[in-house]
């Protein structure tokens, strides 16, 4: 299975996990020239931009370590673009969450990083 197929499989697992945890899916794989956001959902009054990271094991590091400052910058710019394109107010409550999957274990990190 190639990396894109693996990524798609685990993004679906993450979406199912989020749905079970009271997230309402809005969009998956939103992309523009600035970057991509894996999942956009609503939860607890927030518009959540969710990054999904998967690792089969910790040999190459834990999944959350792959959320680098550069990745955060691209996600933030992409989220700002999403708000603009969808004509959402600048003061829309937003949150950046992460779903990290290590082997068969799935974890949710709310407010994984600051943005907007």
DSSP of the chain? --HHHHHHHHHHHHHHHHHHTT-EEEEEEEEETTEEEEEEEEETTEEEEEEEEEESSGGG--GGGG--HHHHHHHHHHHHHHHHHTT--TT--EEEEEEEEETTEEEEETT-S---
Q: Are the CB atoms for 53 and 100 separated by under 8 Å? A: yes
Please report the pLDDT score of residue 96 as a whole number. 97
pLDDT tens for the chain, residues 1 to 116: 666 776 688 799 999 999 999 999 999 999 999 999 999 999 999 999 999 998 877 777 778 888 889 999 999 999 999 999 999 998 999 999 999 999 889 999 999 998 65
Domains of the chain are 3-109 (3.40.1350.10)
């Amino acid at each position: 299975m190639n990396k894109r197929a693996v990524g798609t499989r685990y993004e679906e697992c993450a979406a199912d996990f989020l749905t079970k945890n009271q997230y309402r899916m809005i969009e998956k794989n939103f992309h523009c020239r600035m970057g991509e956001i894996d999942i956009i959902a609503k939860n607890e009054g927030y518009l959540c931009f969710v990054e999904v990271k998967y690792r089969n094991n910790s040999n190459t590091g834990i999944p959350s370590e792959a959320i680098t400052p550069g990745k955060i910058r691209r996600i933030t710019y992409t989220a700002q673009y999403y708000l603009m394109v969808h004509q959402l107010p600048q003061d829309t409550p937003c949150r950046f969450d992460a779903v990290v999957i290590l082997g068969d274990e799935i974890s949710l990190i709310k407010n994984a990083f600051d943005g907007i």
